Copies of this chain bind each other. A is one copy, B any other.
Amino acid sequence: MVLDKPVAVVAVVDTAHPGDTGPLERWMDANPLADILCVLGKTEGNGCVNDFTRGYATSAIQAALGRVRSRRMGATANDDERNRQSSFTADPAIIMSGGTEGVLCPHFIVFANSWDEADADENHDDDDDDDAAFELHVTRTRDFKPEEVGTPVMARATRRAIEEYLGYGGNAPNWDDMFVQIKCPLLTPERIAEAAARGETCATTDCYESMALSRGASSLGAMVAVESALGRYSAPDDARVDDAVYAKTCEDYSVFSDHVSSSAGVELMHCEILMMLTRRREPSSKTPRSKFRMARGRMDDAIDLAGVTRCVDAARGSRGTNTIVTAIVKADPAASVRGRRTTMLSDSDIHATRHARAAVGGVVAAAVGDCRVYVSGGAEHQGPDGGGPVCVISRVGGARG
């Protein structure tokens, strides 16, 4: 049966290498009523500047989406009731984050809207957890010029993209919670040179540092959009105040949000934005409800096991019967953790974000009991300094086949 309105589904698929879309294609073929909104993935490169596994996976996924689209178009050619199929033709967000250090397993997380009745949560009256429904939304910014990367211009554009898509003007709708995952660009020597040739100066000439600035600026923009919508942040009411916040990019880490995660990559010049939100429902609501739940929180530092465990327990539900689907966590390098010196920031062989991902990846995988978790490095303004946001997604009643 086909639902009247689609419900959010989240699934994790394996990859044998960055260009492997076999399991992804099989999932799409097995879920013909699911419209993919976003593919969020961990690829096995260094996660830093010259990590081309992100671009490789992105290009392989785009080709796979094209192939599946062709197959579906053929299959539904004579089926005029399936006009919703056109939604598939929209361009899904592809957010690839490099770096699967330590125990982290390369994988893709599929975020989709499904019209399949089997994906709806029929028995949610029995669910005493809460009555908020899980929703997925996707938007993107325009392409940025190199000189805009990591600046207030980028922050403002990110804020605006979210607000325009969600259609609010600073007034929170009946949302319960929200988590934003962003893919943002970085600078290369060539991009910096191109800007310089036009007489423009980029925010930094250090490519690795540009990743931090880009994550930082996009996160601050998303922070203002999201936390003000949720009423948890006193949103600036004019551009000057707004810019005062954005001026803190990678300067003052006491300004942060637990609702935002951002990963930088060389393979794009704009921001891809995935929004997960939970919306309070009328008790009498008859619209289909997603089987998926989101539990959000944070790690206060890289070894804050309790911070992860709290989210995992919440995602399991009050009866502990939900199945954990995945966890999205940012890992933040720090020169010391609970007063002990680390060598992350002075290691010239392995970049700091790799160290942080490896360690936090161990903690999160151990807490979840699964290595297919999304742990991304560099949490500028995403959760507290040295820590990071945590978002655990579960499915009511166990994993699907």
A interface residues, Cβ below 8 angstroms from B: 14, 16-19, 44-46, 48-53, 55-56, 59-60, 63, 100-106, 188-190, 193, 206-209, 266, 302-305, 335, 337-338, 340-351, 354-356, 358-363, 365-367, 369-372
Contact = CB atoms under 8 A, between A and B. Distances in A.
B303 A342 contact: no
A324 B342 CA distance: 20
Contacts of A208: 348
A303 B103 contact: yes
Contacts of A346: 49-50, 188-189, 207
Given A190-B341, A371-B338, A358 B302 contact: no
Contacts of A340: 103, 105, 370-372
Contact of A49 (B19, B45, B60, B348): B348
Given A56-B56, A347-B49, A341 B101 contact: no
B345 A189 contact: yes
A4 B89 CA distance: 48
A19 B56 contact: yes
A380 B367 CA distance: 25
Most B C-beta atoms less than 10 A away, residue of A63, A349, A360: A349
B103 A342 contact: yes
A56 B19 CA distance: 7
Given A102-B302, A189-B345, 7 more contacts: A16-B341, A19-B55, A48-B349, A63-B63, A104-B343, A104-B359, A105-B341
Contacts of A360: 362
Contacts of A350: 101, 350, 354
Top 9 A-B pairs, shortest CB-CB distance? A102-B359, A48-B348, A358-B358, A359-B362, A362-B362, A105-B340, A340-B371, A189-B335, A56-B56
Contacts of A18: 52, 55-56
A46 to B, nearest CB: 5
B46 A349 contact: yes
B50 A44 contact: yes
Contact of A371 (B105, B190, B342): B342
A190 B16 contact: yes
Contact of A102 (B188, B344, B365): B344
Contact of A103 (B55, B359, B370): B359
A101 B303 contact: no
A33 B269 CA distance: 37
A189 to B, nearest CB: 4
A18 B58 CA distance: 13
Contacts of A14: 341
Contact of A56 (B55, B190, B207): B55
A263 to B, nearest CB: 14
Contacts of A17: 52, 55, 266
Given A45-B52, A60-B59, A366-B363, A345 B105 contact: no
5 contacts: A102-B302, A103-B302, A103-B340, A362-B366, A363-B363
B46 A52 contact: no
Given A303-B365, A349-B46, A362-B361, A341 B56 contact: no
Contacts of A354: 350
A14 B343 CA distance: 13
